[in-house]
Amino acid sequence: MKISDILHKNKTSLSFEFFPPKNAKASEQLFDTINKLSKLKPSYISVTYGAGGTTRGLTNELVLRIKNETNLTVVPHLTCVGADKDTTFDILKAYSENGIENIMALRGDMPLQLNQLNQANQSNGIITPFKDFKYAVDLVKFIKKHFPNICIGVAGFPEGHHETPNVLKAMDYLKEKVDTGADYICTQLFYDNRYFYDFKERCLLSDINVPVIAGIMPVFSLKNMERIAELALGTNFPAKLLRTLKRAGSDSYNIENAGIHWAAEQVRDLLDTNTKGIHFYTLNKWDKIQRICTTLGIKDSFQFR
Ligand code: FAD
């Protein structure tokens, strides 16, 4: 089913994001997890894509397996970094032929090796590792042109994107993605809901009228928080959250509980304010996400129909 239809029919969507596992054993474990989570009747699940094509085979394999072996709606991510038109066309064609109706179109961040190569190339006056697609909007355009029936999601950044400090310009670029054909926006993670609510208002003021899904990534450990800060540059970790984690001291279980509690409070507030969708970045840690849902009395996504 198309995400645009799901969002249209339901008050709130509930979705989960996974990254593709690196080997066969991990793949089986993840698939077991996905089967378990089916009980929550997720509105959809999404599978990330390593920018530069680093997980191309793994992502495609997992997506098609989910499609063929479950009745879940699956959304593959696709990125611009290192991508050329022919390969991108082939990936989209294979998805299309297998009944995949949705794509999350992203620019992607350069993997470390590509980033180093890019810097070296730039100092030698050579072109960057972007081939045929420089920004996500180029990918949206390409999908719309060749596969007009695919429903497209794009990323939005409630706290801004580190490469575009001019926030007015950032909204213009977001609008360009939507005007080009994106059907919905899924946000970057955030730990203070006020950023999300303000972002939604700014979308409306910019005449961006597609549904906005809130991205939630619980803090599971201090190491995990440091990694999040690296990956989602510019994310604010509120003092209240940091104080809570500090109180938890060095006890990893207490820290995990504190992080889960914080995320649950965020989701409770988002549900109370009729947010169109909640998207969990699961980091493949399903049991912890399930705890958040249980805490909030969520039995399954059908409750939000
Ligand atoms: P874009 O929309 O292309 O924006 C990138 C930057 O360029 C921004 O600063 C933007 O303001 C600026 N910009 C856009 N258009 C223009 C223009 N015309 N001129 C000048 N500047 C412009 N990464 C992965 O590698 N794999 C994944 O699977 C993945 N999944 C994600 C899922 C979600 C929901 C989110 C929020 C992020 C995900 N990311 C993923 C990370 C994402 O790719 C990075 O955060 C990336 O830096 C921005 O991606 P984008 O699609 O928003 O890019």
pLDDT digits (tens, 9 = 90+) for 268-292: 999 999 999 999 999 988 889 999 9
Q: Whose CA is nearest to atom 42 of ligand 1?
A: 108
- Name every protein residue with a CB atom under 6 angstroms from any ligand 1 atom: 48-49, 51, 77, 79, 104, 106-109, 135-137, 155, 161, 163-164, 170, 173, 177, 186, 188, 215
DSSP state, residue 100: -
CA of 161, closest atom in ligand 1? 9
Burial 4-20 (b: 16+ CB within 10 A, else e): bebbeebebbbbbbbbb
d(CA 62, CA 293): 25
Q: Convert the pLDDT of each residue in 239-265 to its tens digit.
A: 999 999 999 999 999 999 999 999 999
Q: Whose CA is nearest to atom 43 of ligand 1?
A: 108
Q: Domain 3-304 is in which class? A: alpha beta
Q: Whose CA is nearest to atom 12 of ligand 1?
A: 164
Ligand 1 centroid to Cα of residue 1, in Å, is: 25
CA of 77, closest atom in ligand 1? 28
Residues in contact with 129: Cβ distance below 8 Å, sequence separation at least 6, in sequence order: 52, 81, 82, 110, 114, 117, 118, 121
Q: Convert the pLDDT of each residue in 119-155 to its tens digit.
A: 555 555 544 568 899 999 999 999 999 999 999 999 9
Residue range 71-94: mean pLDDT, rounded: 95
Give the CA-trace dihedral at 22, 252, 17, 160, to 10 degrees: -110
Q: Whose CA is nearest to atom 30 of ligand 1?
A: 48
Q: Whose CA is nearest to atom 11 of ligand 1?
A: 170
- Contact predicate 49/92, CB 8 Å: no
Ligand 1 centroid to Cα of residue 233, in Å, is: 12
192 φ, ψ (degrees, to nearest 5): -130, 115
Ligand 1 centroid to Cα of residue 14, in Å, is: 22
DSSP state, residue 20: -
**E strands within 174-264?**
184-187, 212-216
Q: Which residue has the tokens 């409770």?
A: 268
17 φ, ψ (degrees, to nearest 5): -110, 135
Residue range 102-127: mean pLDDT, rounded: 67
CA of 189, closest atom in ligand 1? 36
d(CA 279, CA 214): 6
Residues with catalytic function: 17
In the chain, where the domains are located: 3-304
d(CA 303, CA 305): 6
- The radius of gyration of the chain's CA atoms, rounded to the nearest angstrom, is 19
d(CA 106, CA 103): 9
d(CA 212, CA 16): 15
- pTM across the whole model: 0.95
Three-state DSSP at 184 gives strand
CA of 48, closest atom in ligand 1? 28
